[in-house]
């Protein structure tokens, strides 16, 4: 079986050297100063005992949801439920060594299924598929056949449809590797599910590493050609433990262009330079510095520079806690979203109210509406090919 090579020329005459081949990349060392998959040291080996598990409550369909806790030797903890493959919490230290949860979410599975949550659709921490982000008009044509999807975001299809990967119970297998404790999640999406062709077999492996990184490895195969765009929809707030908004967080995005969108957040096809605009995060800026210049707030796809192998995608710093987060990925784009649609109706862990700008998302991905945009890197997975994609969120402190 050959690996899936998602090469594709970007719009606007971008050089062929930027043709994207991320999905055939094996986990690799990041040479841009972020995270690496280096050989384990003795600390890694001793820390990689099996994750623990507990009940997370029953789903609306009556299934038992499980919660798995991954821990490393530094006391960093990641909790993940098999309902939606959802990252529910991530405990990391601040500059004083105090542990705090940097993920928005709920104390049990019922929060992820409440009428308020389903209506507002924030997708807290969930695995997203079969297609992350939007597809225009809920339609695409593949091999001469038009496919119709659920329109669950105005006139468009969003994040896999009405019952995407975020709302199913995944098969879960806790384990350990040389890099740390792991949770392997598998799901078989049937031919025709949410309108997509092909039986799609998906495996996602979460690994909590010894150097305080959460690594997510995605693999998928299909028996019919189908669009696939897998990501995680975690909302981060590096100061979440004290209930602050994220406007003071400092963000850097190594991206000289972004995909311009229409009023329904569908790309027009134009890749616009960020220079001289509030979309320029090539040097650090706080989120709140220029957000008022962007109608509705940030909810756009940035075109990452040098998208080959494992490459830098984002850096975030919170001065109040000293926490830092570095994102590296094999994907060509990243959706930076600032929680614009959170309206205070959701109460999360410990009764925390999630209002506008309570969290931000950095969703590594292929570009929105790629099935209808032939100039974008292709998201079509074909029989006999294997999709492989990796994203790493590495945490640290700056004192």
Annotated domain spans of the chain: 2-397
* Residue-level pLDDT at 19: 37
CATH topology of domain 2-397: Beta-galactosidase; Chain A, domain 5 (2.70.98)
The answer to whether residues 213 and 35 touch, using CB atoms and an 8 Å cutoff, is: yes
* Residue-level pLDDT at 244: 87
Give, as one character, the DSSP assignment of residue 275. T
d(CA 394, CA 399): 17
pLDDT tens per residue, range 279-325: 999 999 999 999 999 999 999 999 999 878 999 999 999 999 999 99
Beta-carbon-side half-sphere exposure of residue 40 (alpha carbons within 13 Å): 19
In the chain, alpha helices (H): 42-47, 115-120, 287-290
Annotation says 285 is catalytic: no
Q: Is 234 annotated as a binding residue?
A: yes
The answer to whether residues 66 and 109 touch, using CB atoms and an 8 Å cutoff, is: no
Catalytic residue among 233, 249, 300, 311: 233
Catalytic residue among 194, 326, 331, 363: 363
Average pLDDT over residues 136-164: 97
Q: Is 96 annotated as a binding residue?
A: no
The answer to whether residues 216 and 205 touch, using CB atoms and an 8 Å cutoff, is: yes
Q: Is 235 annotated as a binding residue?
A: yes
Annotation says 363 is catalytic: yes
**Which residue would you say has higher pLDDT here, 388 or 30?**
388
d(CA 35, CA 308): 15
Residue 246, SS3 per DSSP: coil
Q: Is 299 annotated as a binding residue?
A: yes
Q: How far, rounded to the nearest angstrom, does the alpha carbon of residue 95 sit from its chain's CA centroid?
A: 26
Say if pTM beats, i.e. exceeds, 0.95.
Answer: no
pLDDT tens per residue, range 90-115: 999 999 999 999 999 999 999 999 99
Position 336 confidence tier, pLDDT thresholds 50, 70, 90: very high
């Amino acid at each position: 079986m050959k690996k899936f090579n998602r090469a594709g020329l970007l719009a606007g005459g971008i050089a062929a050297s930027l043709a994207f081949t991320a999905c055939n990349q094996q986990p690799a060392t990041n040479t841009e100063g972020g995270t690496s998959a280096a050989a384990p040291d003795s600390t890694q080996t001793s820390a990689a005992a099996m994750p623990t598990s507990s009940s997370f409550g029953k789903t609306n369909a009556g299934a038992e949801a499980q919660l798995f806790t991954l821990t490393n030797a530094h006391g960093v903890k990641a909790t993940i439920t098999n309902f939606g493959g959802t990252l529910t919490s991530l405990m990391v230290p601040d500059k004083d060594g105090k542990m705090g949860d940097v993920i928005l979410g709920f104390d049990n599975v019922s929060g992820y299924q409440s009428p308020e949550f389903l209506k507002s659709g924030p997708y807290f921490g969930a695995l997203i598929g079969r297609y992350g982000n939007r597809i225009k008009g809920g339609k695409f044509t593949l091999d001469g056949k038009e496919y119709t999807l659920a329109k669950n975001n105005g006139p468009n299809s969003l994040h896999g449809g009405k019952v995407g990967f975020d709302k199913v119970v995944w098969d879960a297998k806790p384990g350990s590797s040389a890099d740390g404790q792991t949770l392997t999640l598998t799901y078989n999406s049937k031919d025709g599910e949410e309108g997509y062709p092909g039986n799609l077999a998906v495996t996602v492996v979460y690994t909590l590493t010894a150097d305080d990184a959460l690594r997510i490895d995605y693999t998928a195969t299909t028996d019919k050609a189908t669009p696939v765009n897998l990501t995680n929809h975690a909302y981060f707030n590096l100061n979440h433990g004290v209930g602050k908004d994220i406007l003071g967080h400092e963000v850097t995005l190594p991206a000289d262009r972004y995909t311009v969108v229409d009023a329904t957040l569908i790309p027009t096809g134009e890749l616009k330079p960020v220079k001289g605009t509030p979309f320029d995060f090539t040097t650090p800026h706080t989120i709140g510095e220029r957000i008022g210049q962007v109608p509705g707030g940030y909810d756009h796809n940035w075109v990452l520079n040098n998208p080959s192998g494992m490459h830098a995608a984002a850096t975030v710093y919170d001065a109040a806690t000293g926490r830092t987060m570095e994102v590296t990925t094999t994907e060509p784009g990243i959706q930076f979203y600032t929680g614009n649609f959170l309206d205070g109706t959701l109460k999360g862990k410990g009764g925390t109210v999630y209002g506008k700008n309570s969290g931000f998302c950095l969703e590594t991905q292929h570009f929105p509406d790629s099935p209808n945009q032939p100039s974008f890197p292709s998201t079509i997975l074909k029989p006999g090919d294997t999709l492989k994609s990796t994203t790493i969120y590495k945490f640290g402190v700056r004192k």
